[in-house]
């Protein structure tokens, strides 16, 4: 059957139709695509330098007048693209919150693309709309929200945080009798402030910038050495801002900071938000998955008091990009965003119809909920919890291995799957050199960051197949490389 999809001029066979003939052709193409992945490098990254890689990739003719057969195109991709990617399933790929993916999710990606439901309106995605709503309801229950809660899938934590802060801004304006979506920011908005820890993700600042509040509207609250928000510092800042006549419109807590994995004291931040009468957003992009685990879930106590929560399925739920969600305690808050449209969201549809465009910053949108539900149903909560707990154990194991190395020093005891460390006798340049040399040789994709101005290296364990022995080897490789850098 690949014969027909292999014939480039035969475009009629390349349209995905859901009849047997076209599905057989799709199955052959899918099998050929999987074949093209074989022979990927046995390393976290190929050692080809950036400029050589650019030349290699630019040799690909993007859109020739006449196409080629699919096998040829896939073979070209295998040698130019797949072979020179980063391999998140390699145990030495430990820089970022960049996970290997799961078979049920990847297989479902094919069905998502083949069926191509568009999540903006019910008439383009009837069952898909209901499944996304069903998933959002399940997630709301997991968070501990009540029956008025729901959510929407987004493209990532950055988009979910933008949506959460947008709702916070709209709610603050509504409290002042202003419809910000209609008439824009009132003059008083110059005094609006969003408080979050100095370890919060930069997407909170970016959201403030995009919403016309400006990055200066985000006030960074000091964090403890372990990276969680310092409540005493929060109280002092609230007092100072109130004295100065500013208005706190939102408190943003992080459940799992990007570098240290720290979880802010959610219940205590919630109590301040309640007292101020302001929005409480929790960025649980990283540690939201802990709610699946009986042993880790308790660390997120207080999340149930949030007005909105960011959950990133494409991090510790091992989903392919993109898959994130913004869940809100009261789904009617989405009405603050709604812009009616004559062709899409008319309000005169069949009884029970929900057009998710009313909740989303996107219009056309993928049916990413499908892969999440197929994964959750296939693996079940216990297996996912076991995978998460294993990663937390790996970070603890890495921490003790680092503790035993006289040349390395931990910045904080890990609370999640990250382990951040430096080398007391090494400069920031030495650490950069270690990371860059390992990357250039394709030996390790190691994280490098700065915590409160202090240069550091970072392991982020996302691969549940990694073992304690792998972790010990990674620590050894870093120690040896540091020795080589310092000797050179």
Ligand X SMILES: Cc1ncc(COP(=O)(O)O)c(C=O)c1O
CB closer to ligand X, 92 vs 165: 165
CB of 96 to ligand X, least distance (A): 7
Q: Strand 279-284 relative to strand 308-312: parallel, antiparallel, unpaired? A: parallel
Picking from 41, 155, 17, 147, the residue whose alpha carbon sits closest to that of residue 443 is 41
Contact predicate 222/188, CB 8 Å: no
CB nearer ligand X, residue 263 or residue 475: 263
Continuous H helices in 252-317: 266-276
Q: Tell the smallest beta-carbon distance from residue 161 to ligand X (Å).
A: 6
Block residue for tokens 């802060």: 165
Q: How far is the CB of 483 from ligand X (least distance, A)?
A: 31
Residue 138 or 202: which CB sits closer to ligand X? 202
> Which H, E and C letters describe 338-350, residue by residue?
CCCECCCECCCCC
Output the CA–CA distances (angstroms, integers) from residue 140 to 153, 294, 295, 364, in the order listed. Answer: 13, 17, 20, 24
Q: State in angstroms the smallest separation of the CB of 324 from ligand X.
A: 6
Which of 315, 328, 197 shows the shortest CA–CA distance to 254? 197
Which residue has the closest beta carbon to ligand X? 157
The nearest distance, CB 289 to ligand X, in angstroms, is 12
Q: What long-range pairs does 64-68 form, CB within 8 A, spacing at least 24?
A: 66/8, 66/9, 67/8, 67/9, 68/8
Long-range contacts at 215-223 (CB < 8 A, ≥ 24 apart): 217/192, 217/193, 218/193, 218/194, 219/193, 219/194, 219/195, 220/196, 221/195, 221/196, 221/197, 222/197, 222/198, 223/197, 223/198, 223/199, 223/262
Q: Look-up: residue for tokens 């707990």?
A: 389
Beta carbon of residue 425, minimum distance to ligand X (angstroms, whole number)? 30
Q: Which is nearer to ligand X, 88 or 442 (CB)?
A: 88
In the complex, minimum distance from the CB of residue 285 to ligand X, in angstroms, rounded to a whole number: 4
Nearer to ligand X, 68 or 322 (CB): 322
- Distance between CA 133 and CA 289 in Å, rounded? 19
- Give CA angle at 65 (28, 54), nearest 5°: 80
If the CB atoms of residues 121 and 161 are measured against ligand X, the closer one turns out to be 161
CA-CA distances (angstroms) from residue 173 to 185, 248, 474?
8, 12, 51
Phi and psi torsions of 234, nearest 5°? -65, -45
Residue whose CB is less far from ligand X, 22 or 458: 458
- For ligand X, the closer of residues 414 and 442 by Cβ is 414
Minimum Å gap between C-beta 95 and ligand X is 11
CA distance 59 to 55: 6
Structure-block tokens of residue 220: 């960074």
Least separation in angstroms between CB 154 and ligand X: 9
List residues near ligand X by CB under 6 A. 97, 156-158, 161, 201, 203, 254, 256-258, 283, 285-286, 312, 324
Residue (151 or 156) nearer to ligand X, CB? 156
User: Among residues 152 and 426, whose Cβ is nearest to ligand X?
Assistant: 152
Nearer to ligand X, 26 or 263 (CB): 263
Tokens of 375: 């994964």
Neighbours of 25 (CB within 10 A): 23
Distance CA(443)–CA(47), nearest Å, equals: 8
| Shortest distance, position 286 Cβ to ligand X, whole Å | 5
The b/e string for 403-442 (b: 16+ C-beta within 10 A; e otherwise) is eebeebebbbebbbbbbbbbbeebeeebbebbbebbbeeb
- Report, in Å, the least distance between residue 157 CB and ligand X: 3
């Amino acid at each position: 059957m690949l014969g027909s999809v292999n014939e480039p001029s035969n475009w009629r066979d390349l349209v995905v139709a859901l009849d047997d003939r076209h599905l057989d052709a799709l199955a052959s193409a899918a099998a050929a695509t999987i074949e093209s992945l074989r022979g990927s490098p046995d390393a976290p990254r190929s050692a080809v330098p950036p400029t050589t890689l650019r030349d290699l990739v630019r040799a690909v003719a993007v859109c020739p007048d006449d196409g080629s057969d699919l096998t040829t195109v896939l073979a070209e991709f295998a040698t130019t693209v797949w072979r020179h990617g980063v391999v998140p399933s390699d145990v030495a790929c430990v820089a970022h919150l960049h996970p290997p993916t799961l078979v049920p999710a990847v297989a479902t990606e094919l069905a998502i693309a083949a069926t191509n439901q568009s999540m903006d309106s019910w008439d383009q995605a009837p069952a898909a709309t209901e499944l996304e709503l069903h998933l959002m309801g399940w997630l709301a229950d997991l968070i501990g929200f009540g029956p008025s809660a729901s959510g929407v899938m987004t493209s990532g934590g950055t988009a979910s945080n933008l949506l959460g802060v947008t709702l916070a801004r709209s709610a603050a304006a509504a409290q002042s009798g202003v419809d910000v979506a209609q008439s824009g920011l009132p003059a008083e908005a110059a005094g609006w402030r969003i408080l979050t820890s100095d370890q919060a993700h930069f997407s909170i600042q970016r959201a403030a910038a995009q919403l016309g509040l400006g990055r200066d509207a985000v006030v960074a609250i000091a964090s403890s050495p372990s990276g969680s928000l310092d409540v005493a510092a929060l109280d002092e800042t609230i007092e100072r801002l109130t004295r100065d006549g500013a208005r706190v419109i939102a408190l943003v807590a992080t459940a799992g900071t990007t570098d240290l994995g720290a979880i802010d004291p959610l219940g205590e931040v919630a109590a301040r938000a309640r007292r101020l009468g302001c929005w409480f957003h929790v960025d649980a992009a990283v540690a939201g998955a802990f709610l699946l685990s009986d042993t880790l879930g308790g660390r997120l106590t207080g999340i149930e008091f949030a007005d909105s929560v960011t959950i990133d399925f494409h991090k510790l739920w091992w989903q392919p990009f993109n898959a994130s969600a913004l869940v809100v305690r009261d789904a009617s808050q989405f009405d603050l965003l709604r812009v009616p449209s004559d062709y899409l969201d008319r309000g005169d549809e069949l009884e029970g119809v929900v057009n998710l465009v009313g909740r989303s910053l996107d219009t056309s949108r993928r049916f990413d909920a499908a892969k999440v539900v197929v994964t959750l149903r296939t693996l079940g909560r216990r297996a996912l919890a076991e995978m998460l707990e294993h990663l937390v154990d790996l970070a603890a194991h890495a921490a003790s291995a680092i503790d035993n190395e006289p040349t390395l020093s931990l910045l904080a005891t890990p609370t999640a799957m990250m382990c951040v460390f430096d080398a007391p006798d090494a400069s920031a340049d030495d650490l950069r050199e270690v990371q860059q040399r390992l990357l250039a040789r394709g030996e390790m994709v190691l994280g490098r960051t700065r915590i409160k101005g202090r240069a550091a290296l970072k392991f982020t364990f996302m691969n549940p197949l990694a073992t304690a022995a792998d972790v010990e080897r990674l620590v050894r490789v870093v120690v040896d490389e540091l020795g080589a850098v310092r000797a050179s």
